Amino acid sequence: MKNEKLSLFLRKYILYIIMIVIGAATTCVNARFLSINNFVNILRSVSIQGVLACGVTMILVSGNIDLSFGSMIGLTGVIIGYGGKFFQTLGMSPTPACIISILIAFAVATVIGLINGYFVSKWKMPAMMVTVATQFLMTGLGGIISGGYPTNEFPSWFTFFGKDRIGIIPYSVLIVLVFFAVFYVILNKTKFGRTIYAVGGNAEASRLSGIDTKKYIFSVYVIMQWCAVVAGIIMSSQLMQGSHSYGGSVTFNVIAAVIIGGCGMSGGTGNMKGTITGLILLGIIQNSLTIINASEYTQYVVRAFLIIFSIWLTTVQELRANATDK
C-alpha cells in the first residue's frame, strides 16, 4: 500500500522532480541558470514549439495524429515573403502586401487541414500516412514557389513576432502564453474541447451518441495548421528569412514534448498543463546542456530516454488499470 502511494506520487510529480534536479545541478555548475534573463530565454526558445504543441495536444486528444504541420512552417515563410514581393510588383506598399500574404497563408493552411481531415474522417485512411503525404505536398509547393531560394522580402516591422521585446519579454513569449491560455480554456472549459475528449476516448461510441464526429476531426486538423502558420510567422520573423526547408525538423520535437507531458497516443487523455510541463522540461534540458557546453547531440540522447520513460509511465499505468479490471 505504501509502495502504491509512492509510485502514484512519483508518476504525478516525476516531471517536476526531474526539472528541479536538472535545474539544481546546472545552477551548481553555473549560477547564471537561475537568472530571470535565463528563464525568459528558456520560454523564448520554446515559443515556436509551444504554439505548435497546443495544436498537437488537441490532435492527440482527439485520437488523431498530424505529421504535416512542420512543413507548413516553411511554406508560411515562403508565402509571406514571395507573396509580399508579388503584391508589391502589383503596386501595393509593403505593409498591406505582407498582411494579405499572411491571410493567404491562413487560407492555404485551412485547405491543407481540410484535406487531412477529409481523408482521415471520410475515408478512414491512416492519419499518419495522409499527413506524411501532405507534408511532402507543402514542402514541394514551398520549393516550387521559391525556386528553392530563401526570401528576405519582409517589411521591417515584421521583426515584431520573433525579435522585438517589451521590456525584457519578447513578444513571441507573450504570443505563446496567450496560446497556452486559449487552448487551456478550449480544452477544459468549452463544449468543443469536451467533445474532443469524447471523440478521442471512443470515436464510434461518440458518433453513436449523436456527436457529429467528422466535424470535430476536420476542426482539429484545421486548427493544427493555423498553429503552424503562427509558428511559421514567429520563425521567419526571428530569422527575417523564409524558406521551404525551415521547420521540418521541429515536428517530432513537438510531438515528443506533448507525449512527455502525458498525452496518450490513443486519444481521450492529456491536457495543456502536461503539455506546458513537457515543453518547459525540454526547454530546461536544452538550456542546461548549452550552459554546461554539452553538444546538441547529447540533447538527442537525453530526449530519447525521456520519451521512452514517459511512454513507459503511461503504459504501466494503463496495464495496471486493465489488470484490476479483470
Partner 1 sequence: MNSIVAEHITKIYPGTIALDDVSISFESGKIHAFVGKNGSGKSTLMKIFAGAEQRSEGIIRLNGNEVNFKSPKEEFEVGIATVFQELSLVPSISVAENIFIGRLPVKANKLIDWDKVYADAKEVLNNLGLDIDPKTIVRDLPISQQQMVEIAKAMSFHPQVLQLDEPTSALSQSEAETLFALLQELKKQDVVIIFVSHRLDELWKIADDCVILRDGKLIGVLPMPESPRESVLQMMFGNLTVEKRPEDLSHTDETVLKVDHLTRPGKFQDISFEVKKGEVLGIAGMMGSGRTELLRAIFGADKFKSGTVEVKGQKVNNPTPNKMRNLGVSMLQEDRKTVGIIARDDIVMNTTMSIIDRLGNGIFYSQSKAEEATNKQVKALGIKLADIHNKMNSLSGGNQQKVIVGRWLNADPDIIFFDEPSRGIDVQSKQQIFKIIWDLSRQGITSVVVSSELEELLELCTRIIVMQQGKFTREITGKELEEMTIDQLYMICMEGIE
Binding region for partner 1 (CB under 8 A): 189-195, 197-198, 201-202, 204-212, 268-269, 318, 321, 325
Closer of 164 and 212 to partner 1 (Cβ): 212
Please report how close the Cβ of residue 210 comes to partner 1 at its closest, in angstroms: 3
Pick 145 or 186: Cβ nearer partner 1: 186
Cβ at position 233, least distance to partner 1 in Å: 26
Which of 207, 273 has the CB closer to partner 1? 207
CB of 211 to partner 1, least distance (A): 7
- Closer to partner 1 by Cβ: residue 4 or 204: 204
Number of C-beta neighbours around residue 116 at 10 A:
30
Nearer to partner 1, 92 or 313 (CB): 313
Are the C-beta atoms of 176 and 43 separated by less than 8 Å? yes
Closest distance to partner 1 from the beta carbon of 212 (Å): 4
CA angle 144, 253, 287 (to 5 degrees): 120
CB of residue 223 vs partner 1: minimum separation in angstroms? 14
CA–CA dist 33, 27 (Å, integer): 5
Query: Which is nearer to partner 1, 137 or 313 (by Cβ)?
Result: 313
Pick from 61, 63, 105, 60: nearest CA to 82: 105
Sequence-ordered list of residues with C-beta below 8 angstroms from that of 69, at least 6 positions apart, any chain: 52, 55, 56, 224, 225, 227, 228, 231, 251
Backbone torsions φ then ψ of 169, nearest 5 degrees: -90, 120
Rounded Cα distance between 168 and 50, Å, is: 19
Cβ at position 120, least distance to partner 1 in Å: 18
* Smallest gap from residue 219 Cβ to partner 1 (A): 13
Name which of 32 and 215 has its Cβ closer to partner 1.
215
Where does residue 41 rank: exposed (0-12), middle (13-18), buried (19+ CB within 10 A)? middle
Give the separation between CA 9 and CA 13, rounded to whole angstroms. Answer: 6
- To partner 1, the closest distance from the beta carbon of 207 in angstroms equals 6
Q: How far is CA 196 from CA 190, 214, 255, 276, in A?
A: 10, 11, 18, 19
Comparison of 296 and 325: residue with beta carbon closer to partner 1: 325
Shortest separation between residue 312's beta carbon and partner 1, angstroms: 18
Cell of 235: 520563425
User: Could you tell me the CA-to-CA distances from 200 to 61, 131, 211, 223 in Å, in that order?
Assistant: 6, 18, 12, 16
Residue 6 or 208 having the CB closest to partner 1 = 208
Residues 6+ apart with CB under 8 A from 310: 15, 259, 260, 261, 262, 278
Closest CA to 21 of 315, 285, 309, 291: 285
